[in-house]
Structure 1
Amino acid sequence: MADPTRALTLQLLQSLAERPRPYAEVLETWRTSCPQLSIWEDACSDGLVDCAPDTHLVTVSARGRALLAASAETTSWHTTN
């Protein structure tokens, strides 16, 4: 069975890759009090997202983009083989 937190992390990163989002919006959507589904908190601590201090916009970091690219390659490989 696939790790549900990985799928949710990728969903978060994909939404931020579509367009930067205000910090407050991201927190409202992704922050949780559930220790088993700490998607936002884990993305921050893993360096997958960046937040610009001047605009408070959250974006995907270089590390997050690499994770998205690797995921896309894996998905592409599984659908063609």
Structure 2
Amino acid sequence: MDRSHDALTLQMLDWIEQGKPSYAEVLDVWKSTCPRLTIWEDACASGFVDSTAGMAGTVSLTEKGKRFLSQTSQPG
């Protein structure tokens, strides 16, 4: 991943971790039809997020997503 993509991925993961949004909220905010801005789709493919069934279901970070967020967010 390039750095700009990482920054947006981290922003999304942090947003999910802070608010426990519904699946519908996540899609409303993060789903894109732009082939160069696939933050939500890439996070799903990378195994960073998990969701319960249905549009009203909640989205949360997987252990892999939590590790990526904590490791990549560290200064240095």
Aligned pairs (5 A) from 1:1-81: 3-53=3-53, 56-73=57-74, 75=75, 78=76
Aligned residues: 74
Inter-partner Cα distance in structure 1 for 2:61 and 2:37: 19
Q: For residue 64 of structure 1, report the CA deviation from its aligned partner.
A: 0.4
TM-score calculated relative to the size of structure 1: 0.83
Inter-partner Cα distance in structure 1 for 2:19 and 2:25: 12
Inter-partner Cα distance in structure 2 for 1:10 and 1:72: 8
Inter-partner Cα distance in structure 2 for 1:72 and 1:41: 21
Q: RMSD of aligned C-alpha atoms?
A: 1.5
CA radius of gyration, larger in: 1
Which structure 1 segments of 5+ residues have no match? none
- What stretches of structure 1 move > 6 A for 4+ residues in a row? none
Identity over aligned pairs, percent? 36
Which structure 2 segments of 5+ residues have no match? none
* CA-to-aligned-CA distance 1:14-65 (integer Å, 9 cap, x gap): 0111121000000000000111110000001110000022761001111000
